[in-house]
Amino acid sequence: MREEDLYTLIAEELGIRWIQVKNTVELLDQGNTVPFIARYRKELTGSLDEEKIRAVEDRIRYLRNLEERKEAVLRSIAEQGKLTPELEARIRAATKLQEVEDLYLPYRPKRRTRATIAKERGLEPLAQMILERAVEEGDPAVLALPFVAPEKGVPDPEAALAGARDIVAEVVSDDAEVRKIVREITWREGLLASEARDPKEVAVYEMYARFAEPVRKIPPHRILAMNRGEREGFLRVGIEAPEGKILAEMEKLYVKNPRSIFLEQLRAAIADGYRRLIAPAIEREIRSELTAKAEDHAIGVFARNLRSLLLTPPVRGKVIMGIDPGYRTGCKVAVIDPTGKYLEGTTIYPHEPQRRWEEAKAILAELVDKHKVDIVAIGNGTACRETELLVTELIREMEGGRELVYTIVNEAGASVYSASPVAKKEFPELDASMRGNISIARRLMDPLSELVKIEPKHLGVGLYQHDVDQNRLAEALDRVVESAVNLVGVDLNTASASLLRYVAGINSRVAENIVKYREENGPFRSREELRKVSGLGEHAFVQCAGFLRIPNAENFFDSTAVHPESYGAAEKLLAHLGLTVDEVRANGRCVRDRIQVSGRTLEELARICGCGVETLTDIVDSLEKPNRDPRDEMPKPIFRSDVLRMEDLKPGMILKGTVRNVVDFGAFVDIGVKQDGLVHLSQMSKRYVRDPHEVVSVGDVVDVRILSVDLERGRISLSMILDDAPSPAPVK
């Protein structure tokens, strides 16, 4: 298939124009990054967003690989002298890799099988007689006599017929049409079933001890759960297909002459071919496809949750105290200033076995007073709620009217960070146990900058993330981090190497070189100075420059999202509108106001400035809000000053909570007690909700109603349907 035809196929699949696909593929082939293409090449792509560009990227990779496989298959069949024009046309017309492999199956070099052994024993002519179905008189055993050869392992007619059936079974199994029929029926009517290997030992898989669900309907999370149960040795999992119906359809293709004396031989061979060769292969194939789709779904859920987590609004201008709770080893405490600089840290022992409660509270009070702490960030791990009680007592007993609040922070990955090379480099003088609480405080101050230091899969916002292909997971999550970092933009003079490496066009080595240049030469004074960084060539500069900002730069445009290649257009726009850079710096809104007064359309102004309309629109937006942070539009963290216990909860109470995780069956919400509550899918809205992500995202602040509280099992059921609830109970 020609490259142009691939563009047509992708355009039809994605519902976009052919030229958009062509230009996007060419930009990708030139080595441009997806964030750069989405932000700075809108004229060429027709303003495709990152999701569509990624889809184009994935499909063109798949289709090119498919074309390469087709050529390899065609070469292999041609070398065998078996390539016909009809077969070549069918292979070239295939749009899925599975179709190509099915057509190639009869010609694929095989390992030694029962059929190849039968052929070596000279039984192929007998097999051909069974397949041709032409003989209508006589006895199969008599016709098999000439093929008896004890020296070849064929002692009698029955052995000859058995060998011939092996050959026929393989012929039937290799038939692409047969496989297509079996695959379709199994998909449509098969069941994915599981049973306990030992009914007395099912661990957490009680639901799946005797379970079956249609292949075409089973949800992704159940597929992954059954896979895990099978992998851990608790379950047997397989596909139950309607064998009778499948065999009947297979016989329609091969049983053309019901008067053939070989009819029963043929039917036996078809059944054997299905049970021994086709069914196991189709089961492996379908289970593999089910798993792949389930993994895609799980990775997609994780990716959406991760993006929401990374885009949690930063808490600016506050002194924050981070506490990493613990029992035996104590609670680690760290204070950071509004820039994230570590000020002081210690360890307190308020809980068992030491139980130095008053002493711990006094130490915290001293730190709060000394550093004028505004917010306490408490990690949500072991001893979290007991530590929360300590902090609320501290807040109640504070003198002088000083306002202090606290919040619970998801500490997932903090321990991973604390032992990482990045943490050791940042705080070489501190031991690992002290670094985690700094991370907890910093991830409240600037979640994006801190969380990029941790491998995304450790951030605790997925479902079954340890059960999916780890390479695919890492690739997908890296894409999310890259997208979030470039959406927000990065301060070139404060960003860590961990953050810089996600900027479009910058790899880990160049990120380290940027930090090194900064340390040796002081802050960057312009984007142009980036060209002096070792390893950052022209192509990398073009990709990254627009996403790197220099606040208060001498060249105002260096502090905005305007790309250096568009500085000339921006200058022409200001000159035409009679505005100075200082006027725009003081009031970005004046650009849009002056455009309205001028009476010119954006199309006219774009021609004057020598750029496209999409680029001009982005220039105006960037000048209007040069320091815009898209995270500021997201829900802010909930700050508390008193504690709520599970024992305080009563059905009907309405509380505010923060969404911590979104999964297939609902969302987990932190309402300020020890255990997150679950809002089941059915309790998210009065309307039907297919996907929880339609309603909530990680980090959202939502109102929820208590449905039930199970103190013994530590479970809280919540609802987001409030209007039929009783009057709200007072909440601490």
Does domain 646-719 correspond to CATH entry 3.40.50.1260? no
pLDDT of residue 731 exceeding 50, the answer is no
Amino acid at 328: R
Classify residue 204 by burial, with Cβ atoms within 10 Å: 0-12, 13-18, 19+: exposed
pLDDT reported for residue 401: 66
Work out the average pLDDT over 627-654: 85
pLDDT reported for residue 724: 60
Give the CA distances from residue 280 to residues 117, 168, 249, 286, 541, in Å, rounded to whole numbers and listed in that order.
21, 18, 18, 10, 53
Residue 679, helix vs strand vs coil: strand
Sequence spans of domains, the chain: 3-107, 320-480, 516-632, 646-719
What share of residues in the chain are helix, strand, coil (percent, to 5)? 55, 10, 35
- Compute the CA torsion angle 465, 472, 217, 204 (nearest 10 deg): -20
Q: 708 vs 467, which has greater pLDDT?
A: 708
The alpha-carbon radius of gyration of the chain (Å, integer) is 33
How far is 101 from 65, CA to CA, in rounded Å?
A: 13
DSSP string spanning 597-658?
A: HHT--HHHHHHHHTS-HHHHHHHHHHHHSTT--GGGGSPPPPPBSS---GGG--TT-EEEEE
pLDDT of residue 642 exceeding 90, the answer is no
| Mean pLDDT computed over every residue of the chain | 92
Give residue-wise pLDDT tens across range 474-530: 899 899 999 999 999 999 999 999 999 999 999 999 999 999 999 999 999 999 999
Contact (CB, 8 A) for 321 and 333? yes
Least confidently predicted of 149-163, 411-425, 432-446, 624-638? 624-638
Asked whether the bond before 150 is cis by omega within 30 degrees of 0, the reply is no
pLDDT of residue 727 exceeding 50, the answer is no
Q: Which CATH class is domain 516-632?
A: mainly alpha
Contact (CB, 8 A) for 631 and 312? yes
Work out the average pLDDT over 590-612: 94
| Confidence band for 381, pLDDT divided at 50, 70 and 90 | confident
Which sign does the torsion angle of CA 676, 677, 681, 685 carry?
A: negative
Work out the average pLDDT over 152-171: 96
pLDDT of residue 320 exceeding 60, the answer is yes
pLDDT reported for residue 133: 82
Second CATH level (architecture) for the domain 3-107: Orthogonal Bundle (1.10)
Residues above pLDDT 90, as percent of the chain: 79
Residues 6 or more apart whose CB falls under 8 angstroms from that of 690 comprise: none
**3.10.105.10, 3.30.420.140, 1.20.1250.20, 2.130.10.10: CATH of 320-480:** 3.30.420.140
| Confidence band for 445, pLDDT divided at 50, 70 and 90 | very high
Least confidently predicted of 198-202, 512-516, 570-574, 677-681? 198-202
How does DSSP classify residue 275? I
Give residue-wise pLDDT tens across range 355-372: 899 999 999 999 999 999
pLDDT reported for residue 479: 92
Give residue-wise pLDDT tens across range 85-106: 999 999 999 999 999 999 999 9
